[in-house]
Amino acid sequence: MKKKINTLQNLGRLGRWTALALALNLTAGCAPLVLGSAIGGAFMASDRRTSGTQLEDQGIEIKASSRIRDLVGESGHVNATSYNRLVLLTGEVASEADRTAVEQAVARVDNVQSVVNELAVMGASSLGSRSSDVLIKGKIKASFVDARDMFSNAFKIVVERGDVYLMGLVTEREANRAAELASGVSGVTKVIKVFQLMSEDELARKLPPPKPTEPAASNP
């Protein structure tokens, strides 16, 4: 059964870079498309964001969650995920007014540069659906770790009702490879790429240089 290709139109408030999230066709042979721009800054050993940006993202998520609770309380199920100051909103709210209010409230949080609003106006997802999402996320993470051509820590994965959102600071090659792997996991309905792209040269400059090889010991 063919899956329809959807393009996300609502990218929220843009900062100094542009992110375009595209839903991928999971049918074999469909080439995904991503637009974006490179982000500067030093890489941490296990994360391509700077240590300061990682702390900012944590603070954004805490503040955003607090504002969301004040707005929708128990009437909605909303997740706010921040990566490099880009906030992805996923989950369900009771009305279009709630959807707009949540986006506006999160956009006003300190250090937020852009909001991608993927909230659905519908009843909250069931516990069974959320448990399935957790399982799917674990399978995708495992596939990234197992792939020798992937740096798994460069990606952040969000799953809602079988829809997979991929975030991170990556090259187009990495973005396409990650989407390919995620789309092959059972239970995935579509893959949405919410990446910030950099060139291969930028990635090479930011990665730590390889350690010099030790000279072989000569026999006496």
CA of 45: how far to CAs of 53, 54, 126, 153, 210, in Å? 14, 13, 37, 9, 13
pLDDT value of residue 204: 87
Q: How far apart are CA 126 and CA 146, in angstroms?
A: 31
User: For 21, how many CA atoms within 13 A lie in the half-sphere containing its CB?
Assistant: 26
Q: So what's the pLDDT on residue 215?
A: 65
What pTM value is reported for the model?
A: 0.77
Tens digits of pLDDT across the chain (220 residues): 443 333 343 333 333 333 444 444 443 333 333 333 334 444 444 688 999 999 999 999 999 999 999 999 999 999 999 999 999 999 999 999 999 999 999 999 999 999 999 999 999 999 999 999 999 999 999 999 999 999 999 999 999 999 999 999 999 999 999 999 999 999 999 999 999 999 999 888 877 676 676 666 656 5
Give the pLDDT of residue 206: 75
Question: What per-residue confidence (pLDDT) applies to 30?
Answer: 36
DSSP tally for the chain: helices H, then strands E: 5, 7
When computed from its CA atoms, the radius of gyration of the chain, rounded to whole angstroms, is 19
The pLDDT value recorded for residue 46 is: 65
Q: Where are the domains of the chain?
A: 22-205
In whole angstroms, what separates CA 84 from the centre of its chain? Answer: 10
